[in-house]
Chain A
Amino acid sequence: MTKPLLEIRDLHVAIDGTEILHGIDLSINAGEVHAIMGTNGSGKSTLTKAIAGHPDYTVTSGDIIYKGKSIVAAEPEDRARAGIFLAFQYPVEIPGVSNMYFLRAALNAQRKARGEAEASGADFLALIKEKAKLMDIDAGLLNRSVNEGFSGGEKKRNEILQLAVLEPTMAVLDETDSGLDIDALKTVATGVNSLRSPGRSFLLVTHYQRLLNHIQPDFVHVLLDGRIAKSGGKELALELEEKGYAWLEQAV
């Protein structure tokens, strides 16, 4: 059996001394798409931040194994350079820094860390043009400051653009669907689907089943009060849509 790409073992995570995740076990193989669903406050975002290494989120026990190595002590940039990507629920603005400049700096920081050649101006321009077209992002947006004055939909599409440019191995999407109208949702889904590959895994965090109509997951997990209450195939998402989360709460 091949080893999983990402393995989370009995993970406990606290913020400011308050434990939010009370022992998560999750195993993601290369090429798989996993969805995490759950109510507000169930710990979904906490899980994504813990994987990416946000300094405010403390792993109190358990482990996160990525490509066979524990990463809980790794700096966020080292995780990113190793291929872990987080699409943020609320992308921040960086005034005065053009989207294009930022993307190239990020790409080259990662390439440099991996000992690869940095992208030249011309190569990068060609790359970004291709990826922007995929995400239906116009050139104007590329030259504006990162996320500054972007609409909610533009911010989310911009996250997926970064995903497309950085080509991570493990992509974690935190509620990328929230706040999107149906057209934007489709664009985002098309972008993500086009990036699916045998070597790349996805962890989609979402509130609603509707994203999963467009991105078909291999597995669905339900998070309740910091624990995985139930795991199943994509049919579990439909069941949740129908019954809500209450029956699971009672079951736990």
Chain B
Amino acid sequence: MSNETIQSLAGQEYKHGWTSNIDADQLPPGLNEGVVRAISAKKHEPEWLLEWRLKAYRHWLTMTEPTWQKPTYPKIDYQGIIYYSAPKKKKEITSLDEVDPELLETFEKLGISLDEQKRLSGVAVDAVFDSVSVKTTFREELSKQGIIFCSFSEAVTEQPDLVRKHLGSVVPFTDNYFAALNSAVFSDGSFCYIPPGVRCPMELSTYFRINSAGTGQFERTLLIADEGAYVSYLEGCTAPQRDENQLHAAVVELVALKGGHIKYSTVQNWYPGDKDGKGGVFNFVTKRGIAHENAKVSWTQVETGSAITWKYPSCILKGDNSVGEFYSVAVTRDYQMADTGTKMIHIGKNTKSTIISKGISGGHGDQSYRGLVKVMKGASGARNYSACDSLLLGDKCGAHTFPYIESQNASAVIEHEASTSKISDEQIFFLRQRGLSAEDAVSMIVNGFCKDVLSELPMEFAVEAQKLLGLKLEGAVG
């Protein structure tokens, strides 16, 4: 590709970098027991939850920030972060008309209409702005089938037993540094429960948006598919362009009971920082699902944003014949870094897991696949297939693979394949010779490379993800 083309394409900028001017109800920056209590009080939480938060906070104090990951980052000042920021409510909102118009506009800009017309596309949306859930659509319709889809805070009030039973059951607050922090200060998130035998009739979706400066986003998602239930859930994320790094430390817990099936898809496009690596979101997230007998937990992620993406959506295959899947596309360009992968823990008999990871690196981007396949003693007949492919655009980027395999059962079959390739000038020339522009050529090659993962996304989001990849990679070939 000619230098000029590269220059002009490299100018592609982050499209969600604007901020909204919305009155926010914020706590001052800093973290101590008082802040944890204040968050809990603002949300009118029951005593047990406050106790849980405090235990998590005290545990966090005893922990040290991990350093084993490949990406390095400047020290995070935990006392400099605002742990609670909510759009100021003038009064209780009962209908969409009463939501701050600026806020509605924000979501319109993101292409997420909270309006009733969303009905047409058949996607139920929960929108989380800074740390607070703004609006959940389709609640009444879903509730007819016994499906509960609401903000985490509402669930605490309305479904205390379900929340109390499952909160921390998959990711305990002792799990890791960021999970402990989240457990102490999480402010909202999404909650979903699908009753036995019910197949959720629409895609459930949460859009996360960080707006206020200096805030961290600590949301918590809990999804429960009861026996034989099915749900497909998607989360999307964006944030404004800011010079400072913003911390996003979320926790997602999935519980698939006997025969349940949860499909969880992520299209992550947090602000990645500028061309020189200034600013951007630290996306340090703990995601884990537990699959009981004959259950299935399936993760699909398209990670294109964030300065640093550091996460391992994992599956605990506890029940016999349970299935875990991880399909991932991660893109790093400019100075983005990613250390991502999965953990598949085979506990039950005849458990099966599949890992398909596609890493794309351009510019000075650097990424690692890090994955663990662990087969416990009792997991006879366990089977895993992993394929990790990296695609390099240019010669200043990096791709690394760290597969860990631990098997304690001789009957287990574990396969691992890995490849690294480069987009070749000849491929690009070939496509241009057939009449495609240089950008379309790169986008076609990359989409082809990611096909196995993109085909796992729900249809309407697959198209979005394809476009996003195209935009993301324009000018990334040097």
Contact = CB atoms under 8 A, between A and B. Distances in A.
A213 B433 CA distance: 28
Nearest to A113: B435
A54 B447 contact: no
A53 B438 CA distance: 13
B462 interface: no
B447 A80 contact: no
B465 to A, nearest CB: 14
Contacts of B427: 92-94
Contacts of A91: 430
Interface stretch (B133-141, B169-177, B448-456): B448-456
Given A55-B2, A55-B429, A94 B434 contact: no
B76 interface: no
Contacts of B235: none
* Residue with the highest number of chain B CB atoms closer than 10 Å, among A55, A81, A145: A55
A97 B449 CA distance: 8
Given A55-B425, A56-B425, A92-B427, A86 B448 contact: no
Interface residue tally of chain B, by bracket?
A: 20 to 34
Interface in B59-111: none
A106 B435 contact: yes
A52 interface: yes
Contacts of B450: 96
Contacts, number: 79
Contacts of B2: 55, 75
Contacts of B448: 94-97, 145
* Residue with the highest number of chain A CB atoms closer than 10 Å, among B424, B426, B427, B434: B434
B444 A80 contact: no
B431 A166 contact: no
B469 to A, nearest CB: 12
B433 A52 contact: yes
A76 B429 contact: yes
A191 to B, nearest CB: 17
A88 B434 CA distance: 11
A93 B450 CA distance: 15
Contacts of A162: 434
* Residue with the highest number of chain A CB atoms closer than 10 Å, among B1, B5, B436, B449: B436
Interface in B413-463: 424-427, 429-438, 440, 444-445, 447-452
A9 B13 CA distance: 43
Contacts of B438: 75, 77
A116 to B, nearest CB: 12
A163 B431 CA distance: 13
Interface in A70-93: 75-77, 79-81, 85-86, 88, 91-93
Interface residues of A, number: 31
A102 B448 CA distance: 10
Contacts of B436: 77, 105-106, 109
Contacts of B431: 94, 102, 106
A166 B451 contact: no
B430 A88 contact: yes
* Residue with the highest number of chain B CB atoms closer than 10 Å, among A52, A75, A145: A75
Contacts of A85: 433
Contact of A92 (B424, B449, B452): B424
A162 B429 CA distance: 15
Given A54-B429, A75-B432, A95 B449 contact: yes
B432 A105 contact: no
A97 B440 contact: no
A148 to B, nearest CB: 9
Interface string A154-193: 0000000010001000000000000000000000000000
Contacts of A53: 433
Contacts of A95: 448-449
* Residue with the highest number of chain B CB atoms closer than 10 Å, among A53, A91, A105, A107: A105
Nearest to A86: B433
A96 B447 contact: yes
A80 B425 contact: no
Nearest to A107: B435
A138 B32 CA distance: 69
A206 interface: no
Of all A-B residue pairs in the complex, the 5 with the closest CB atoms, nearest first, are A96-B448, A97-B448, A96-B451, A106-B434, A110-B435
Given A79-B433, A106-B436, A145-B448, 10 more contacts: A77-B433, A80-B434, A94-B430, A94-B444, A95-B448, A96-B449, A97-B451, A102-B431, A105-B436, A109-B440
Interface of B: 1-2, 5, 424-427, 429-438, 440, 444-445, 447-452
15 contacts: A52-B433, A55-B425, A75-B2, A75-B438, A76-B429, A76-B433, A77-B435, A77-B436, A80-B435, A102-B444, A105-B440, A106-B436, A109-B435, A162-B434, A166-B434
